[in-house]
Amino acid sequence: MSFAAAATFLVLLATLHFIKPEFDPSWNMISQYEIGRYGWVMQLAFLSLALSCLTLVVAIHSQVGTIWGRIGLALLLVTTVGMTIAAIYVTHPITTPKDKMTAHGNLHGLGFILGVPSQTIAAVLISLSLRRNAAWSSARRALLWTAQLPWVSLVAMVVTIMVFLPLNGGKFGPGVPVGLPNRLYIIACCVWLMTVAWNAIQLGKQRS
């Protein structure tokens, strides 16, 4: 279920690029797809990602035997909450001034704050813990590489904002190309979720 839910998120996100072409992917974050027509598709995508995180915790909690690994599982649950909040509360256009933000927009931002750092740290902590489990020895390399992808993409997104936002007068817009690193980040998170889920499936088959 975790693997399928993460894959569903990617399919829905890809579909939105075709059915909502009015949002330029070079500078609009994926949350913008919640706005207007077919916004429910992005909301469904966020719920799918939340489901992927939640079911992965259920699937692998018995395989995580270290303290930091269990902290990672807890953070993945926080990610589940953050993605659910992001799905329920629709964001505002990225160009909306802070003093014009409503409670809905601020709550969506809270979901972002809860979900993004938690997912990034969880991927590293859980992967490090699973690498110590002998049953996961064949997946160690895949765990190592995929756990690096979210934080590398997140750093790229933060650097992009820090460099281009001041040059654009402190306002998001076409001059702040944050869209690509934002998409790379969420894709990296899905790749990690699917990698861990796939290896959990293979482990289950071997035990059977």
**Please, which pLDDT band fits residue 206 given cuts at 50, 70 and 90?**
confident
Average pLDDT over residues 87-98: 87
| pLDDT at residue 38 greater than cutoff 90 | yes
On whether the CB atoms of residues 73 and 126 are closer than 8 A, the answer is: yes
Could you state, in order of their start, the residue ranges of all structural domains in the chain? 2-207
Any idea which of 115-119, 138-142, 184-188, 203-207 has the lowest mean pLDDT?
203-207
| pLDDT at residue 170 greater than cutoff 90 | no
| pLDDT at residue 208 greater than cutoff 80 | no
pTM of the predicted model as reported, rounded to 2 decimal places: 0.93
- Looking up tokens 């020895």 gives 137
Q: Which two tokens stand for residue 120?
A: 């990034």
pLDDT digits (tens, 9 = 90+) for 10-21: 999 999 999 999
Q: Which CATH class is domain 2-207?
A: mainly alpha
**Which 3-state string (H, E, C) describes the chain?**
CHHHHHHHHHHHHHHHHHHCCCCCCCCCCHHHHHCCCCHHHHHHHHHHHHHHHHHHHHHHHHHCCCHHHHHHHHHHHHHHHHHHHHHHCCCCCCCCCHHHCCHHHHHHHHHHHHHHHHHHHHHHHHHHHHHCCHHHHHHHHHHHHHHHHHHHHHHHHHHHHHHHHHHCCCCCCCCCCCHHHHHHHHHHHHHHHHHHHHHHHHHHHHHC
